[in-house]
Structure 1
Amino acid sequence: MEYVAAVDVGGTTMKGGLVAREGTIISFDRRPTPRAEGPDRVIAAISAFVADLCRPRSGTRPVAVGLAVPGLVTDTHAVFSAAFGWRDVPLSAFTDVALPVALGHDVRAAAEAELVHGAGGRDVLFLPIGTGIAGACVLSGSLYGGAGGWAGQIGHIPVRPDGRACGCGQRGCLAAYASAKAIADRCGETSAEAVVRRVAQGDDRAVEVWDEAVEALALALATYTMVLDPAAVVIGGGLSLAGESLLVPLRARLAARLAFRPAPEVRASALGVRAGVMGAGLLGWRALAQSRGDVDEPLA
């Protein structure tokens, strides 16, 4: 059976696995992203992860590699990432395996997986919330990257003028209030899950931070809704594991901010935290298709 090696690089965790053509993840692994050790260390860790996934197993090995990373990404370069501090990193720096390799944007790849293997939709905002926040805009059934590839940077919509400083250099960004990292940091916790538990226990500080996060998300989504009129907003990433604790108040806050029109459906990702690996798998299958001259392979 043919399969591809797929790696989805997040700000806190790298997820990787072997992905069959129909999207089944044959094996799955997680590794910490050594972001605190600098951009070169992150690149080296990605390269080692890919190499391990490509080692022969039972006489077989992957036929291609898909790599999904955050920031501004082209087919050949990771152009910029505020999370990792890298600029213009060529694809060749991430791996030297002798296989077809494709590089893509992490959120758009995950959204492609959601379209192909998940709930689908023609006009949808796919919004993973993890260490940071970025969206993938699906318009009339196609992913939209914008004029320069920056479309979907919803995490940097200003929700509070002159508010909290954001790692991007701006102030008051959505990510500074509603990313899983921001929520955890503001409560002195190591994870947003710990904050959710404190909210359930009625902890005043946790309730305050959670309320501000939900309100910030509702404000940003109201802006997106007014401009692009999505049928649904699909919440993914680590924060989606909060389930109805997040979705119920977010639906209510979003509806309250839309006075003259109904709110779009707000639902959790059908693929959960594995959407990124499945999306990287689609990138791998694209790489193989291009090497074989097959233009009909789904693209991420």
Structure 2
Amino acid sequence: MRHVIALDVGGTGMKAALAGPGGELLHEARRATGRDRGPEAVVAGILDFAAELRAHGADRFGEPARAAGVAVPGIVDEESGTAVFAANLGWHDVPLRALVAERLGGIPVALGHDVRTGGLAEGRIGAGRGADRFLFVPLGTGIAGAIGLDGRVEAGAHGFAGEIGHIVVRPGGAPCPCGQRGCLERYASASAVSQAWAEAGGGPDADAADCAKAVAAGDERARRVWQDAVDALADGLVTALTLLDPRVLIIGGGLAEAGETLFTPLRDAVRRRVTFQRLPELVPAALGDNAGCLGAGLMAWDLLHGTPAPSATPTLTSPEVTT
């Protein structure tokens, strides 16, 4: 059976799959990234994992993978296939596309940014399916974005497109590791909410999920923390939609798991802020943590078929999952 390799590399774990031509995940596997062993070991682990997936596909389906897609965090030069920088993995200027292609016998390989890759999947086969313009914003440890245009995701001239987390929403506010003060992700990321709730009385081990539960239970301290985050997020989103005019605004990541505890006040806050702008549909992401693998698979099929690949609905079978 024709298939491609899809690999989504995170700061702590790697998710991988063999994806069929309709987007279906035929085989899934996960393992630790192993960043504690250093950047060279991380790269070696990626190459070993990809080779194991190739061997598994050849054994199971009678033919090797036709192509591969790899999603990684940090700054990515997709044109040259270089992982330019990733603070949480400790690497600089890694020619990852060439290394993976060499290890896999010269098959075509696509390298993409993890959020843009997840956004590609959400836009083409997930919550933004059918929309000609969308913005995908996952709210996790940080905040980034993917700008979707006619079935593809914009990388920008230098690979920085979509960095909505570094829009300044509170001038002169909390310092950000990027060097600015008052960036959106310092107020509305899951890590920011966790810190604010812990300081407001949630306890030293409190996190954003605990804050959401406290909000739902009627805790006034939690409600204030949550509303501060929602207001900051709405400020950033309205700036983005003013510039980009998306038809659909897709919110994902860990904070979105709060459901309507997030989406009801967020829709209200965005609605209050728009004036001349057209209000986009604001929806939760649909693909969960499969988005990165699905997007990596789509990138791989695009190499074979041209961009974009057909917008098939993926069949999430009962996959064989290995660790």
TM-score by length of structure 2 reads: 0.80
Q: Report the alpha carbon displacement of residue 204 of structure 1 after superposing the two structures with TM.
A: 5.1
Work out which of the residue numbers 58, 62, 67 in structure 1 matches 2:65.
62
Work out which of the residue numbers 203, 216, 230 in structure 1 matches 2:232.
216
Work out which of the residue numbers 266, 279, 282 in structure 2 matches 1:263.
279
Q: RMSD across aligned C-alpha pairs, in angstroms? A: 2.7
After TM superposition, list the pairs within 5 Å mapping 1:89-238 onto structure 2.
89-91=94-96, 92-93=98-99, 96-98=103-105, 99-118=107-126, 119-139=129-149, 142-186=152-196, 187=198, 188-189=204-205, 192-203=208-219, 205-238=221-254
Deviations 1:145-188 (A, max 9, x none): 22222111001111112222323232221112222233334434
**Residue pair 2:77, 2:158 contacting (<8 A) in 1 also:** no
Report the Cα distance in structure 1 between the residues aligned to 2:273 and 2:52, rounded to whole angstroms.
Answer: 48
Report the Cα distance in structure 1 between the residues aligned to 2:124 and 2:244, rounded to whole angstroms.
Answer: 22
**Residue pair 2:136, 2:146 contacting (<8 A) in 1 also:** yes
Deviations 1:173-220 (A, max 9, x none): 111222223333443447533332233234455434322221111000
- Give 5+ residue unaligned stretches, structure 1: none
**Residue pair 2:145, 2:164 contacting (<8 A) in 1 also:** yes
Report the Cα distance in structure 2 between the residues aligned to 1:133 and 1:238, rounded to whole angstroms.
Answer: 11
After TM superposition, list the pairs within 5 Å mapping 1:50-89 onto structure 2.
50-56=50-56, 57-58=59-60, 60=62, 61-75=64-78, 76-89=81-94
Report the Cα distance in structure 1 between the residues aligned to 2:61 and 2:27, rounded to whole angstroms.
Answer: 16
**Residue pair 2:7, 2:70 contacting (<8 A) in 1 also:** yes
**Residue pair 2:120, 2:151 contacting (<8 A) in 1 also:** no
Question: Which 10-residue stretch deviates more, 132-141 or 101-110?
Answer: 132-141
| Aligned position for 1:27 | 27
Which structure would you say has the larger Rg? 2
**Residue pair 1:255, 1:262 contacting (<8 A) in 2 also:** no
Report the Cα distance in structure 1 between the residues aligned to 2:114 and 2:155, rounded to whole angstroms.
Answer: 12
Cα distance 1:297–1:255, how it changes in 2: closer, same or farther (>3 A)?
closer
Q: Percent identity?
A: 47
Deviations 1:273-295 (A, max 9, x none): 211110011122234x1xxxx54
**Residue pair 1:82, 1:168 contacting (<8 A) in 2 also:** no
TM-score by length of structure 1 reads: 0.85
- Give 5+ residue unaligned stretches, structure 2: 199-203, 311-323
Cα distance 1:14–1:167, how it changes in 2: closer, same or farther (>3 A)?
farther
